Amino acid sequence: MADIIKLLPDHVANQIAAGEVVQRPASVVKELLENAIDAGSTLVKLIVKDGGKTLIQVVDNGVGMSETDARLSFERHATSKISDAQDLFNLKTKGFRGEALASIAAIAHVDMQTRKDNMELGTHIKIEGSAVVSQEVVATPVGTSISVKNLFFNIPARRNFLKSNQVELRHIMDEFHRVALVHPNVAFHLYNNGSEMFNLPAASSRKRISHIFGNKMDERLVPVQEETEVVNISGFICKPEFAKKSRGEQFFFANNRFIKSPYLHHAIVAAFEGLIKPETYPGYFLYLEVDPKTIDINIHPTKTEVKFDDEHTLYAILRSSVKHSLGQFSVAPVLDFERDSNLDTPYDFERKEAILPRVTVDASFNPFDTTVAKRKEGISYQKQSAKGWESMYEGLEGLNPEQDFSSFEIESETEIQSSLYAEEGISQETGITFQLQRKYVVSTVKSGLLVIHRNRAHERVLFEKFLSEITVEKGLGQQLLFPLEVNFTPQERAIVSEIQDSLINVGFQFENLEEETVKVTAVPALISESKIGTVLDHLIADYKEGFRDKSLSQAELLAHGLAKNLAIKSGEALDNESQMALVHDLFACKEPTLSPNLKKTYTIISEGDLDKKLL
């Protein structure tokens, strides 16, 4: 029998490795930016086109490479970061596996120019699908410039799995932020399709956070500082009142490397317990410094998932540090049992002097004088205020008194609902409904009781209404007398720009969408002015999270988000007319039985079920 085990060719092995290292354009951005940082750069420029599908270029002013190093950098397991396996337990650099450039070159067209400081000329290398096309001498600035073009050009199946340009750009921005936040001493620039999106000068950590997420972020930050034998913690947390539904502003860095740790995230949430609303998440930018021997960062190809030796101690220290910062800067309430708050002087009255009261006496007042003149004088203002009451009835002389508004009927509504009620077997003779625990609406049916889940039913009604407005007809919005100003981060503005057409169809209108402060000039009629900011935050968060579900379209995601935020919640009271309107609207839907989350909206308890319960 012939041998069946064979060594794979290098180009095939590189493509397999690329499946681990390069999942999307953002993966290429991460590897190239980390290499630029390891090269000692003080200025890094990132240039992308079409969400990174057409071009990803990183230009740095680092140490550069010689002709031999430039060629070896594209070989598998070629690296300058480690020399033996023991170095893996004392890592202080980022890219160390030596597979990034080889994997990228296997699935794209790579063009690299590099020069060292002590050399007059540099090296220019072109690689296509792991094959070196050319290598020549070129005049180039000190540092390295790598261009990755036509990603996945030789693997069409992988390219088809990429999302739209806007979605891929958001992932690139996430990777850009993760590198920029941990290296505030390095200047970063990001260009997308020829326009500059970020220009981050070298600054402090607090300034870098404000430059990325907007100037409003500076007033929300609370510093965290703790030094122990196990870990040194520094960074910032956001004040509890600015907690959001989305997870966009949560960053952990361990030894200058972005990491994901649900366990440590739980420590932060536990520290904020009682200070934030349920289902909201606090923002934080925390930097952890631990002994490299106590952390394993090579358990995942992307090196974002790490393992600590003593996670329980780290959890306790992190939770205590955050709680200490919240109390130290008077963010969280502090109990003082020895202080009597009743003796405190209000702030507004601390520097005010006492004012002697003035007493005025009416010398003409006589309580025993009961003359008619005095009584008439006392009630004269009532007669004056009633003058002109005859004018209220002007123009009504020719009106037939038998005509009133009770004679008007909406025949089409009645006819439609009667047919729908007949299909469900619901009796309209009494029209009696009542609420159960302010969560359910109960009505009579021919065979028993109809029990409707108010929240799910209202979500279904609103979902179909908004979906129709987005896809079929434009909804009417109510103009705001005074435009509302909302602050968005660059990522949030990118999402709003992406879904702007759908939001306009629902009734929203925006101004200055390219600036940090966006003006909202009109909103859907169902949204109160006080809830505009909250609804938009939830919409952005739901839309960002919704891309994990590939079965939902953009219109469905937005309609679902609006319905979920505007539907009546459990505990809110409904009058009888609103209860009946909810029942009518539910059975006028195309799919009245299920909510947008595919949960039952109502159930019918038959007479037989009631009889069994009472046996």
Q: What angle do CA 386, 391, 397 make, to 5 degrees?
A: 135
Statement to judge: residues 554 and 451 lie in one domain: yes
Instruction: State the average pLDDT over residues 447-463.
Output: 89
Same domain, 141 and 156: yes
- Is the pLDDT confidence value at 39 over 70? yes
Q: Is 405 inside a domain boundary?
A: no
Asked if 490 and 558 sit in the same domain, the reply is: yes
Q: Among 31-45, 184-198, 528-542, which stretch is predicted with the lowest mean pLDDT?
A: 528-542
Mean pLDDT of 507-513: 84
Task: Choose among 96, 64, 90: nearest CA to 77.
Answer: 96
172 shares its domain with 278: no
Q: Are residues 141 and 215 in the same domain?
A: no
pLDDT tens for each residue of 244-275: 877 778 999 998 889 888 899 999 999 998 88
Shared domain check, 108 and 51: yes
Of 200, 219, 248, the residue that ends a domain is: 200
Q: In what side-by-side order are the strands of the sheet with 477-487?
A: 477-487, 517-524, 509-511
152 located within any domain:
yes
Whether residue 594 has pLDDT greater than 60: yes
Flag whether pLDDT at 284 surpasses 90.
yes
* pLDDT value for 376: 46
Chain segment 51-108, per-residue pLDDT in tens = 999 999 999 999 999 888 888 888 876 665 555 555 555 555 555 445 688 888 888 9
| 434 and 449 part of one domain | yes
Can you name the residues that pair with 448 across neighbouring β-strands?
Answer: 445, 606
**Distance, CA of 397 to CA of 3 (rounded, Å):** 109
Whole-angstrom Cα distance, residue 444 to residue 422? 13
The backbone torsions φ and ψ at residue 200, rounded to the nearest 5 degrees and listed phi first, read -105, 105
**CATH (domain of 54):** 3.30.565.10
Residue 341 belongs to a domain? no
Instruction: Give the residue with greater pLDDT, 506 vs 287.
Output: 287
| Last residue of one domain, picked from the residues 136, 171, 200 | 200
44 Rama class: left (phi>0) / alpha (psi -120 to 50) / beta:
beta
In a domain, 390, yes or no: no
pLDDT digits (tens, 9 = 90+) for 132-149: 899 999 999 999 999 999
CATH of the domain at 575: 3.30.1370.100
**What band does 549 get if pLDDT is binned at 50, 70 and 90?**
low
Query: CATH number of the domain that 290 lies in?
Result: 3.30.230.10
Mean pLDDT confidence for 543-549: 62
Cα separation, 325 vs 223, in Å, equals 7
* Pairing assessment for the beta strands 517-524 and 509-511 based on DSSP bridges: antiparallel
The range of the structural domain enclosing residue 26 comes to 10-200
pLDDT in tens, 154-199: 888 888 888 888 889 988 999 999 999 999 999 999 999 988 889 9
| pLDDT surpassing 60 at residue 611 | yes
Tell me whether residue 250 is in a domain.
yes
The answer on 215 and 194 residing in a single domain is no
CB 383 within 8 Å of CB 376: no
Least confident window among 227-236, 344-353, 490-499, 529-538: 344-353
Tens of pLDDT, residues 372-410: 444 444 444 444 445 555 555 555 555 555 555 444 444
The predicted pLDDT at position 579 comes to 86
Number of domains in the chain: 3
Same domain, 196 and 228: no
- Mean pLDDT within 297-306: 67
Whether 613 is in a domain gets the answer no
**Could you tell me if residue 347 is inside a domain?**
no
- Tell whether 449 is covered by a domain: yes
Average pLDDT of the residues in 503-514: 83
Count of Cβ atoms closer than 10 Å to residue 121 Cβ: 12
Q: Is there a contact between 62 and 40 (Cβ–Cβ < 8 Å)?
A: yes
- Together in a domain, 251 and 287: yes
Residues 196 and 213 in one domain: no
Residues 158, 161, 164, 166, CA torsion sign: negative
Q: Are 36 and 62 in contact (CB under 8 A)?
A: yes
Per-position DSSP letters for 185-224, written without gaps between them: TSEEEEEETTEEEEEE-S--HHHHHHHHH-GGGGGGEEEE
Single pTM value for the model: 0.69
User: Final residue of a domain: which of 200, 218, 243?
Assistant: 200
Mean pLDDT (the chain) is 80
pLDDT-derived band at 443 (thresholds 50, 70, 90) equals: confident
Q: Are residues 462 and 539 in the same domain?
A: yes
